[in-house]
Amino acid sequence: MPAPLDLLLQRHSIPSRQLGAPGPEGAELHALIEAAVRVPDHGKLVPFRLIELRGEAKRVFGERLAARALARDPELSDAKREKERTRYDFAPLVLVVIARTTEGSKVPPIEQQIAAGCVAYNLLLGAHALGYGGQWLTGWAAYDAEVAALLRLAPNERVVGFVHIGTPQIEVPDRERPRVEDVLSPWTP
């Protein structure tokens, strides 16, 4: 296999609960984001933005998500509520990737959303290249209108994912991947 593809072949997700300090910050974080936003962007709409959760902000966000989870399900167990409350406590950095869709554009909304998804994936690749680990998560909070309001999203915005980035605390074995033969087929006229 060609060495230039090693980065892609070695990247895998690290569970967010297994990510600890340190994480990228300052100039290193700036460079990671600068690289991550170099995505295909039909129409140059920049249909994405990022929200940084770090330190106390992560704790407060987790508290508010736990309260929202309880409001959604008053019979939520204490264990599940605690899981919601601490979901963002582990990785030192969580970047919320937001898709911003420009309605009425010649660029279909799906293409704009995919561009934002590419930003999320580039964050994972870039974190791996810098020696960090990462995990892209969504869950119910990514689709909840009250969480969108908590994040102060505009009506044309939606969460693509929560990208947790930090230093792996354990060695995570790679999982089995699909075989090329199972995902590639020729088109025949």
pLDDT digits over 124-173, tens only? Answer: 999 999 999 999 999 999 999 999 999 999 999 999 999 999 999 999 99
Candidates 1.25.40.10, 3.40.109.10, 3.40.228.10, 3.30.43.10; CATH matching 10-53+90-170 = 3.40.109.10
C-alpha 87/C-alpha 96 separation (Å) is 14
- Identify the H or E element spanning 134: strand 133-137
119: Cα within 13 Å, side-chain hemisphere: 26
Domain boundaries, the chain: 10-53+90-170
Q: List beta partners, residue 51.
A: 96
Tokens of 110: 């799906």
Partner residues linked to 163 by β-bridges: 95, 136
Query: pLDDT averaged over the chain?
Result: 96
Q: So what's the pLDDT on residue 169? A: 97
Structure tokens at 119: 């930003």
Q: Which residue has the tokens 């209108």?
A: 145
